[in-house]
């Protein structure tokens, strides 16, 4: 999420957006106590619903009117761009949850989804409120908040190797600071943060601790 210092009057909208964003951590909590199969059974229709609304709002005027009247104050600039189809953060974050569950061990999936739900929230709020030093479209203060909170998360997550967790947090922080576009399409960091950090963590285990990978398939 962009967190370079915009006007103070927009902070209440950022706060509302981030409260919604933070609530998505419930996906990680629920996944800890249910099976992978049940998680997929829940996530596939959830993602599909967000995606369908996101796409149809570009073609159905009444849906577009309701959508923009309801959510415009909380949408990012790229989500409001005309002339190209842009997906919103809710679609990206449910897609990231789905891909994490599909392709990564449970502990890695829970860790990396928690990073995008919690640390990205901290980065955006700190950056909006206190951001003074910019890094591209982001702020140094927001990125430091992201790193600090992500380090706390990887230390708390059970069964996660500490060094693997530190690497995961550093990769997530670096990716959060970047802005990726494919032509006019903005790739949301709700997707890039969890997938890049999960891949880094998984590769570390494959190369350094392959014998411990089975321990990551279940919560204690």
d(CA 113, CA 154): 11
Six-digit token pair at 35? 């099976």
Question: How many other CB atoms sit within 10 Å of the CB of residue 128?
Answer: 25
107, part of any domain: yes
149, part of any domain: yes
The number of domains in the chain is 1
Residue range of the domain that includes 70: 8-217
Residue listed under structure tokens 């190797």: 161
- Name which of 112, 111, 130, 110 is nearest 122 in CA terms: 130
78, part of any domain: yes
145, part of any domain: yes
pLDDT in tens, 85-137: 667 778 999 999 999 999 999 999 999 999 999 998 898 888 888 878 777 67
19, part of any domain: yes
55, part of any domain: yes
2, part of any domain: no
3, part of any domain: no
* 192 φ/ψ angles, rounded to the nearest 5 degrees: -70, -40
pLDDT in tens, 147-160: 999 999 999 999 99
pLDDT at residue number 70: 60
What percent of the chain clears pLDDT 70, i.e. is strictly above it? Answer: 76
Task: Summarize the chain as % helix, strand, coil (round to 5).
Answer: 75, 5, 20
């Amino acid at each position: 999420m962009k967190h370079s210092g915009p006007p103070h009057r927009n902070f209440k909208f950022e706060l509302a957006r981030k409260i919604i964003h933070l609530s998505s951590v419930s996906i990680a909590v629920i996944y800890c106590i249910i099976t992978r199969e049940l998680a997929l059974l829940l996530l596939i229709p959830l993602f599909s619903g967000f995606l369908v609304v996101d796409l149809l709002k570009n073609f159905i005027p009444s849906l577009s009117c309701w959508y923009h009247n309801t959510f415009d104050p909380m949408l990012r600039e790229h989500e409001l761009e005309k002339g190209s189809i842009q997906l919103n953060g809710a679609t990206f974050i449910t897609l990231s949850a789905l891909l994490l569950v599909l392709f990564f061990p449970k502990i890695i999936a829970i860790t990396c989804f928690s990073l995008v739900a919690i640390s990205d929230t901290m980065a955006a709020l700190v950056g909006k409120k206190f951001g003074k030093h910019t890094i591209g479209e982001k702020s140094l203060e927001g990125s430091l908040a992201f790193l600090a909170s992500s380090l706390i998360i990887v230390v708390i997550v059970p069964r996660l190797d500490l060094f693997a967790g530190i690497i995961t947090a550093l990769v997530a922080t670096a990716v959060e600071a970047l802005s990726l576009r494919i032509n006019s399409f903005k790739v949301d960091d709700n997707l890039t943060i969890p997938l890049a950090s999960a891949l880094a963590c998984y590769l570390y285990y494959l190369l350094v601790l392959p014998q411990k990978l089975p321990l990551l398939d279940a919560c204690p």
